[in-house]
């Protein structure tokens, strides 16, 4: 029997960006919050010895311990789903700060087009442009309505960037100026300009300058130390819940943070939750934490899994297309890119930062005409400079063997002489791409694993081909000695694809029939349950998701405060 | 294959022969006391002076085996060298201590797949589903090493370490394609991939792990290792070559 603890106003499951923001806003408002996090406690001093490529990138020190749980995957319903036994893609966060400790920090807003994608597409291209097997839908909120929350998130994190004309209107400029435009990025800039594009510096959570945020948190500027994505920042320059929202929540005295606490179920009667059950990951002891409000902020996968394992909400059924939990799982497509090899130029690409990069907006969203293409939305085309670490970066022209004398010669020759022009493309939902419970595999606590049924769609494959050409045209203008372009989207492979941006499964909308939560991320079927994170996105844009999930976390926090006062549906 | 590559392989082959002769391994049969010392004498291949060698050994107690048995170590060192051979750019995996690195990794939690999902059932995967393999990495590697010898004996009547470099390459290529016998259910290509990954890690991971000896792996590709800041360097149009630093340099401020 689980040991029953005293009831609290709010219990938050998972302490990454989503959970951290909500905990910080609620505790600032004087509300007591219990934060349950399955992983380790963390603070900035944990990041002092992180310049270790092997430990943090290749042994995934900060990522979810797959021996406890993983996901299973199959490309389609005819296949048997099998567990992702090691990484792989989806390097899911674990521990205080979640993936926010080891993210890159590229912090975009989604486009006005994203929030009203169905209406705007149909207005411009007619009703038949969206094929019936793509359940693309409006989000139930407009860009203008979510804009103030983006602003709040960006000020909290101190996002560095420059205003882009083709994107949504900003109420304020970025709180800090853009990152340094290095000679590498200038190469892309010049080439893109020659083609008539207007490159801009990628908005960054790696601070371009020292910054104090509205909560009174001071952080220092990025040192371009090159151990950024997959690593924590020893300067606190990279915005991370551990150096921003969590200390603020702790300082209020209203946060009761419990690490090594893994939530297995949400207690509920089908219309309301009464609390959660969690396990002490060391002792195996079970606890019941009753609460007025339950906030799920356990990332896309566990947000969906916890609901399904708790019989809360109606599971999506791909045959009837009824149900909502697990629906519209989306990913991102980044297979269209060009690699540029230079024979006698070397760049200082051993240095860099997780969000150091330059990009063009012309091929995003509906910023170009889609009348004659078989896909919607688009991609950011960009060059980044993260810092090329040597185990991960052994590039040589296609056709070079992957080991032996020639491999060594070529990979060393180009170690400092390779640049890339990449694309990161939007991912549209498909009726056959969804999440449910695996019938066979379980986690170490005996709960069914999440099963992902997913493959790239025809739309994705078209998009990749198109964007690959764009990357090649810019690459050519950059004038390297050799260019390799990858233009084919292979089948989804759970162990080789590397994009970390999963979305959907508990999507927001205006209508309970086709969405699971409203735009405050409050569940239609259980008004005291809020489900935060990119699980709420009805589709995935071409941008990295965290700016948007951060904005919605602020909105959810506002909704929870209101709900605790008045109760009932917030819309 | 270009003439240059050919002559390179030949050169390596002949160095190997000298090495094998010196180390007494080519005689086959029982390895006797005298040979054992020289088995660990990787430096005999590059002709480093004895004083220097004994000093390095004294300085670095880490250069010893915690997982492999001596012959396994030899086979690993030879195979890793083919993945990342010595050439005019600099040392190969053998000199960089990649096999020491591999030894230590296989003896770590990673060697027993501590962070992998291990619950059953196990089914044969589709190509998109990743390895579904019950074996621990340490066991897969050990079985792979044994199979390297079995395969070499069958096809060349010699142990793997006794083969010429180009023959070793043929053996490894067969493993890469999964053409050698199954290793208790795992494909020989799974072993090859593990060998390849571990070799590259052993050449380029922080020297703290036992490979990348004296940061020579990094030096070859002008990689400065782990430093606190590159704010200045990233702004420079000229390439700036820095001496590498290892993680040990961060102990000062931790
Ligand atoms: C290497 C990498 C680079 C990235 N770069 C970028 C980028 O540049 N820009 C961008 O926008 N996004 C980026 N992302 C994605 C970004 O990190 C995530 O979108 C974001 O951090 C998700 O925040 P979250 O709070 O929703 O989830 P998480 O950060 O995953 O937090 C969820 C937390 O819940 C905990 N948890 C899960 N299940 C349970 C349970 N059952 N019980 C208790 N606790 C639980 C987890 O341990 C975790 O701490 C990157 C991700 C990775 C991995
Ligand atoms: S690159 Fe900048 S933000 Fe990233 S870890 Fe280094 S100092 Fe921090």
Per-residue CA distances from A340 to A360, A361, A401, A414, A421 (Å): 18, 21, 18, 10, 8
Question: B180 φ, ψ to 5°?
Answer: -80, 170
Residue A544: other Cβ atoms inside 10 A: 26
Per-residue CA distances from A112 to A66, A121, A547 (Å): 37, 12, 14
User: Could you tell me if A59 lies within 8 Å of chain B, comparing CB atoms?
Assistant: yes
| 3-class state of residue A265 by DSSP | strand
Query: What is chain B's mean pLDDT, rounded?
Result: 83
* Inter-residue contact A279 to A445 (CB < 8 Å): yes
Asked which of A467-471, B21-25, B209-213 is least confident by mean pLDDT, the reply is B21-25
If you measure CA to CA, which chain B residue comes closest to A385? B234
CA A151 to CA A19: how far, in whole Å?
A: 19
Contact residues, chain B, for A183 at CB < 8 Å: 235-237
Mean pLDDT of B231-254: 91
| 3-class state of residue A464 by DSSP | helix
Tell me, what's the pLDDT at A512? 97
* Inter-residue contact A158 to A239 (CB < 8 Å): yes
Domain ranges of chain B: 1-59, 65-221, 223-254
Give the distance, in angstroms, between the CA of residue B239 and the centroid of all CA atoms in the same chain.
Answer: 30
Cβ of A222 closer than 6 Å to ligand 2, yes or no, is yes
* Inter-residue contact A102 to A229 (CB < 8 Å): yes
Residue B4 reports pLDDT greater than 70: no
Disruptive mutation site among A80, A222, A406, A408 for chain B (greatest number of B CBs within 10 Å)? A408
Cβ pair B226:A88 closer than 8 A: no
Disruptive mutation site among B221, B236, B253 for chain A (greatest number of A CBs within 10 Å)? B221
Tell me, what's the pLDDT at A496? 82
Q: How many helices (H) and strands (E) does chain A have?
A: 10, 22
Shortest Cα–Cα distance, A265 to chain B (Å): 21
Mean pLDDT of B78-100: 98
Tell me, what's the pLDDT at B14? 39
Please, which residues have CB within 8 angstroms of residue A9's CB and are 6 or more apart in sequence? A31, A32, A33, A291, A292, A293, A564
CA B222 to CA A30: how far, in whole Å?
A: 54
Looking at the DSSP bridge assignments, the partners of residue A540 are: A427
Residue ranges in A215-350 assigned as alpha helix (H): 245-251, 299-309
* Inter-residue contact A363 to A399 (CB < 8 Å): no
Domains of chain A: 3-566 (3.50.50.60)
Ligand 1 first shell, C-beta below 6 A: A 13-19, 36-39, 91-95, 98-100, 102-107, 229-230, 262-263, 297-299, 302, 355, 500-501, 533-534, 544-547, 549
User: Could you tell me if B115 lies within 8 Å of chain A, comparing CB atoms?
Assistant: yes
pTM listed for this prediction: 0.93
Q: What is the residue with the minimal CA distance to atom 8 of ligand 2?
A: A233
Pairing of strands A286-296, A3-4: parallel
DSSP for A139-159, written as a single string? -SS-HHHHHHHHHHHHHHHT-
Tell me, what's the pLDDT at B51? 42
- Length of chain B as a residue count: 254
Mean pLDDT of B144-172: 98
Residue B18 reports pLDDT greater than 70: no
pLDDT band at B253 (very low <50, low <70, confident <90, very high): low
Tell me, what's the pLDDT at B9? 38
Of B128, B172, B239, the CB nearest to A493: B128
* ipTM reported for the complex, 2 dp: 0.95
* Inter-residue contact A334 to A514 (CB < 8 Å): no
Pairing of strands A418-425, A337-341: antiparallel
CA A412 to CA A410: how far, in whole Å?
A: 5
Which residues in chain A come in under a pLDDT of 70? none
| 3-class state of residue A552 by DSSP | helix
Cα(A341) to centroid of ligand 2, in Å? 27
Q: How many helices (H) and strands (E) does chain B have?
A: 10, 0
Tell me, what's the pLDDT at B58? 57
Tell me, what's the pLDDT at A403? 98
Whether A539 is catalytic: no
Per-residue CA distances from A429 to A411, A488, A538 (Å): 38, 20, 8
Residue B16 reports pLDDT greater than 80: no
């Amino acid at each position: 029997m689980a040991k029953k603890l005293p009831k609290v106003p709010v219990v938050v499951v998972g302490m990454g960006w989503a959970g951290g923001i909500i905990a910080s806003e609620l505790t600032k408002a004087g509300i007591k919050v219990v934060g349950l996090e399955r992983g380790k406690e963390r603070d900035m001093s944990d990041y002092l010895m992180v310049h270790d490529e092997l430990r943090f990138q290749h042994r995934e020190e900060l990522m979810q311990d797959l021996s406890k749980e993983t996901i299973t995957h199959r490309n389609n319903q005819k296949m048997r789903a099998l567990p992702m036994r090691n990484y792989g893609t989806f390097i899911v966060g674990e521990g205080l700060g979640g993936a926010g400790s080891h993210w890159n920090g590229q912090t975009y807003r989604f486009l006005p087009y994203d929030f009203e994608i169905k209406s705007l597409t149909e207005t411009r291209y007619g009703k038949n442009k969206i094929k019936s097997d793509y359940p693309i839908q409006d989000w139930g909120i407009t860009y203008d309505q979510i804009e103030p929350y983006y602003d709040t998130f960006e000020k909290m994190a101190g996002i560095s960037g420059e205003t882009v004309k083709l994107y949504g209107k900003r109420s304020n400029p970025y709180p800090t100026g853009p990152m340094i435009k290095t000679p590498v990025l200038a190469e892309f800039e010049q080439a893109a300009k020659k083609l008539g594009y207007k490159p801009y510096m990628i908005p960054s959570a790696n601070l371009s300058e020292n910054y104090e945020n509205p909560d009174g948190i001071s952080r220092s500027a990025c040192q371009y130390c090159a151990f950024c994505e997959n690593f924590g920042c020893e300067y606190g320059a990279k915005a991370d819940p551990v150096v921003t929202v969590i200390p603020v929540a702790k300082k209020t005295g209203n946060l009761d943070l419990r690490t090594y606490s893994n939530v297995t179920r949400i207690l509920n009667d089908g219309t309301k939750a009464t609390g959660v059950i969690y396990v002490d990951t060391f002792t195996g002891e079970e606890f019941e934490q009753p609460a007025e409000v339950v906030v799920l902020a356990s990332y896309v996968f566990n947000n969906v899994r916890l609901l399904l394992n708790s019989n809360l909400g109606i599971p999506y059924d791909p045959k009837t297309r009824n149900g909502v939990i697990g629906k519209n799982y989306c990913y991102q497509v980044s297979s269209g890119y060009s690699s540029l090899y230079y024979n006698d130029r070397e760049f200082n690409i051993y240095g860099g930062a997780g969000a150091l990069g330059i990009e063009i907006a012309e091929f995003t969203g509906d910023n170009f005409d889609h009348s004659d293409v078989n896909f919607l939305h688009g991609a950011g085309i960009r060059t980044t400079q993260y810092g090329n670490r040597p185990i991960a970066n052994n590039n040589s022209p296609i056709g070079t063997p992957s080991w032996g004398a020639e491999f060594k010669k070529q990979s060393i020759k180009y170690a400092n002489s390779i640049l890339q022009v990449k694309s990161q493309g939007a991912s549209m939902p498909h009726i056959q791409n969804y999440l449910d419970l695996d019938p066979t595999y379980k986690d170490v606590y005996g709960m069914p694993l999440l099963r992902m049924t997913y493959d790239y769609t025809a739309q994705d494959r078209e998009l990749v081909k198109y964007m690959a050409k764009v990357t090649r045209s810019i690459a050519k203008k950059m004038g390297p000695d050799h260019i390799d372009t990858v233009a084919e989207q292979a089948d989804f492979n759970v162990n080789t694809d590397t994009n970390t941006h999963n979305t959907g499964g508990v999507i927001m909308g205006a209508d309970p029939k086709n969405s699971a939560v409203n735009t405050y991320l409050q569940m239609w079927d259980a008004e005291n349950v809020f489900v935060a994170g990119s699980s709420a996105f009805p589709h995935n844009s071409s941008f990295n998701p965290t700016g948007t999930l951060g904005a919605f976390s602020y909105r959810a926090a506002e909704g929870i405060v209101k709900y605790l006062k008045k109760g009932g549906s917030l819309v | 294959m270009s003439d240059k590559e050919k002559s390179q392989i030949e050169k390596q082959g002949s160095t190997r022969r000298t090495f094998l002769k010196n180390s007494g391994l080519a005689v086959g049969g029982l390895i006797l006391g005298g040979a054992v010392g020289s088995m660990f004498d990787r430096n005999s291949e590059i002709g480093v002076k004895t004083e220097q060698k004994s000093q390095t050994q004294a300085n670095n107690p880490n250069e010893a085996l915690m997982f492999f048995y001596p012959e396994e170590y030899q086979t690993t060192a030879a195979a890793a060298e083919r993945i990342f051979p010595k050439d005019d750019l600099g040392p190969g995996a053998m000199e960089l201590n990649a096999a020491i690195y591999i030894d230590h990794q296989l003896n770590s939690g990673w060697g027993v797949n501590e962070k992998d999902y291990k619950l059953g059932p196990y089914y044969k995967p589709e190509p998109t589903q990743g390895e579904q393999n019950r074996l621990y990495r340490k066991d897969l590697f050990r079985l792979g090493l044994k199979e390297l010898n079995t395969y070499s004996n069958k096809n060349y009547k010699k142990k793997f370490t006794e083969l010429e470099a180009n023959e070793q390459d043929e053996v490894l290529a067969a493993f890469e394609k999964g053409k050698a016998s199954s290793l208790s259910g795992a494909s020989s290509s799974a072993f090859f991939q593990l060998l390849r990954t571990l070799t590259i890690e052993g050449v380029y991971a922080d020297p703290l792990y036992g490979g990348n000896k004296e940061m020579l792996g990094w030096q070859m590709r002008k990689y400065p290792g782990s430093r606190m800041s590159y704010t200045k360097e990233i702004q420079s149009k000229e390439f700036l070559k820095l001496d590498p630093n290892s993680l040990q340099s961060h102990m000062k401020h931790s």
